Amino acid sequence: MLQWRQPLVRFFVRCASKKSAQHHLRRRPDPRSTISLLKLLPKDNDVTIPKQVEKLLMPVTAVTIGESIDLRRAAQEFKCYNYEEVIPDEVINININQSTDLMVLSNGTLVGWNLNEEIIVQNYAKKLGSAIDESYVPEADVMDWIGITGESDGSYLKGEVLVVAEDNADQALLEKAAFAIGFSRSTRLSILENALDQYLLRAKDQSRYLATGKIKTTEHQLLQLTGKLFQLRAKLNLYSELIETPDLYWEEPSLERIYTSVSRALDINPRISILNRKLDYATDESRAFLSVLNEKKSTRLEWIIILLITVEVVFELRQFWLEYQHSTHAETSAN
């Protein structure tokens, strides 16, 4: 039995003052009036969305701000809002106002429903403070969503628009959480992509120097860069769920469908494949640099040994010459 299928735990605390208007980006449309318009949504991501549909869409923004977030501390920081634990130890939902929610994910990502990046970073990310482990420069991505009623098949993704079936509030929240976790893969992957791009930029300078027969990077610096490279590979392939579907979706086809659909729409698997190929290249390049440095070090040691042997030979020759002179002088004196 999966824990997250238990009734959602809700916490209601009234704030002294809550200016909800400043968070409200767009008024939610009447769900009943949107069903017929959903047929106008294009299945192809490259096709422009009709204006009559576009005006009904609301933004959903994912912002990755750290390696992980302590949800217990995060809940304390948002205690003046109504919040609920959607998936134990993974997702809590902060109800900002009637049309706006903020999901805090333990994987270091905030997902704002009807919130933009600026508001999330300025108004909410700063509140987390000590709850964040290994803070990152915020990385954001935006998609669209719309809520409807009377949808018997549950929530789904059409093109790049999430259609949320709101007939069952608890199920809708679970489906939005599944979308949020899938969506967060994109921004978390962007963090790793940016870090690798920075590494490759530095490696480009090393390659240019190496092409001239020189290398300016010290062994210590190169070992540090190699360590960061292995850390990136570990974060991608070992320490996160980026490369696999979380276990909690295996017994819930509707949630797995949403998670898989958003991952496909954001090209997660191709991006992971490309990132791993870049990591392979960067690792080979790093090993080549280390090999060059080791060869230089070995050559330097060989010359030092040759020099020491030469010095020893010179001293031996000098000693031999002194002994020869001494014996010659002694023979001359004897005669």
Q: How confident is the model at residue 153 (pLDDT cuts 50, 70, 90)?
A: confident
Burial class (CB in 10 A: 0-12, 13-18, 19+), 38: middle
Judging by DSSP bridges, how do beta strands 100-105 and 82-87 pair with one another? unpaired
Query: What secondary structure does DSSP assign to 71-120, as a single string?
Result: HHHHHHHTTTSEEEEEETTTEEEEEEETTEEEEEETTTEEEEET--HHHI
331 versus 80: the higher-pLDDT residue is 80
Give the model's pLDDT for residue 37: 52
Q: Summarize the confidence of residues 130-148 as an average pLDDT.
A: 91
Give the model's pLDDT for residue 105: 95
**Strand-pair partners of 113:** 60, 101
Write out pLDDT tens, residues 270-314: 999 999 999 998 888 888 888 888 888 888 888 899 999 999 999
Q: Summarize the confidence of residues 95-124 as an average pLDDT.
A: 93
Give the model's pLDDT for residue 289: 82
38 versus 65: the higher-pLDDT residue is 65
CB atoms within 10 A of CB 158: 15
Top mean-pLDDT range of 81-95, 102-116, 311-325: 102-116
> Which residues, in sequence order, are CB contacts of 106 under 8 Å at separation 6+?
68, 69, 70, 71, 89, 90, 91
Q: Summarize the confidence of residues 68-92 as an average pLDDT.
A: 90
CATH topology of domain 31-166: TATA-Binding Protein (3.30.310)
Write out pLDDT tens, residues 177-221: 999 999 999 999 999 999 999 888 888 877 787 777 777 777 788
Instruction: Tell me which amino acid residue 42 is.
Output: P
Burial class (CB in 10 A: 0-12, 13-18, 19+), 140: buried
> Which residues, in sequence order, are CB contacts of 321 under 8 Å at separation 6+?
none
Task: Name the phi and psi angles at 217, rounded to 5.
Answer: -75, 135
201 versus 329: the higher-pLDDT residue is 201
Mean pLDDT of the chain: 81
Cα dihedral sign, 113-115-121-123: negative
The domain segmentation of the chain, as residue ranges, is 31-166
264 versus 295: the higher-pLDDT residue is 264
H-type helices in the chain, by residue range? 51-54, 71-77, 117-119, 126-128, 169-211, 219-237, 253-265, 268-334
Give the model's pLDDT for residue 138: 94
Give the model's pLDDT for residue 80: 84
Q: Summarize the confidence of residues 64-93 as an average pLDDT.
A: 90
Task: Report yes or no: 232 and 197 within 8 Å, Cβ to Cβ.
Answer: no
203 versus 11: the higher-pLDDT residue is 203
Torsional class of 110: left (φ above 0), alpha (ψ -120 to 50), beta (otherwise):
beta
Give the model's pLDDT for residue 181: 92
Q: How confident is the model at residue 225 (pLDDT cuts 50, 70, 90)?
A: confident
Determine which of 5-19, 74-88, 269-283 has the lowest per-residue pLDDT on average: 5-19
**Strand-pair partners of 163:** 146, 156
CA–CA separation, 276 vs 262, rounded Å? 21
Burial class (CB in 10 A: 0-12, 13-18, 19+), 22: exposed
> Which residues, in sequence order, are CB contacts of 177 under 8 Å at separation 6+?
86, 87, 90, 91, 93, 103
CA–CA separation, 250 vs 241, rounded Å? 14
Q: How confident is the model at residue 42 (pLDDT cuts 50, 70, 90)?
A: low
Q: Summarize the confidence of residues 11-15 as an average pLDDT.
A: 47
Give the model's pLDDT for residue 284: 87
